[in-house]
Amino acid sequence: MRLTPFIRCMYVGTHTFDPLPMPGYCVDNGNDQNNGVIKVNSLDGSTKQAQDICLAACKAKPDATGCEIVWGHSNQGCYIMTETITSGNGVNNHLCWVFDQGFPQLW
């Protein structure tokens, strides 16, 4: 059987992919999630570098359910989420990464 490059990658690949950031702060079914939040730093989250640092810190925490970064507000910085989150809510100057979402259905 001849596999297409995409299928071959999915079949034999071992690379893990980071979740895509969602605009807004992290919510659980539309409700702000403020339980189980750990502040990592106070970096200006508008930069790619700060976002990469934040995501790496969150991924290093074994029980993290996601990650949130804020900029342009008094609470700017990186936050590890440890309680259930389902999405970002679309608010400006925030990004949310939800872990353990699996791969989207592509076909």
Range 58-86 average pLDDT: 96
65 belongs to a structural domain: yes
Mean of the pLDDT values across residues 83-88? 96
Question: Which pLDDT value is given to residue 100?
Answer: 76
Q: Is 85 inside any structural domain?
A: yes
Strands 94-98 and 66-70: what pairing?
antiparallel
Mean residue pLDDT of the chain comes to 85
Judged against a pLDDT cut of 70, whether residue 13 lies above it is answered with no
The number of folded domains in the chain is: 1
Phi, psi angles (nearest 5°) of residue 13: -70, 150
Structural domain includes residue 105: no
Element (H, E) at 98: strand 94-98
8 found inside a domain: no
How far is it, in rounded angstroms, from Cα 15 to Cα 106?
Answer: 18
Please indicate, yes or no, if residue 2 is contained in any of the structural domains. no
pLDDT tens-digit map of 38-53: 999 999 999 999 999 9
Q: Is residue 86 part of a domain?
A: yes
Q: Identify the band that residue 17 occupies on the pLDDT scale cut at 50, 70 and 90.
A: confident
Are residues 4 and 38 in contact, defined by beta-carbon separation less than 8 angstroms? no
Asked if the structure places residue 5 within a domain, the reply is no
Give residue 54's domain range: 19-98
Residue 1 lies in a domain: no
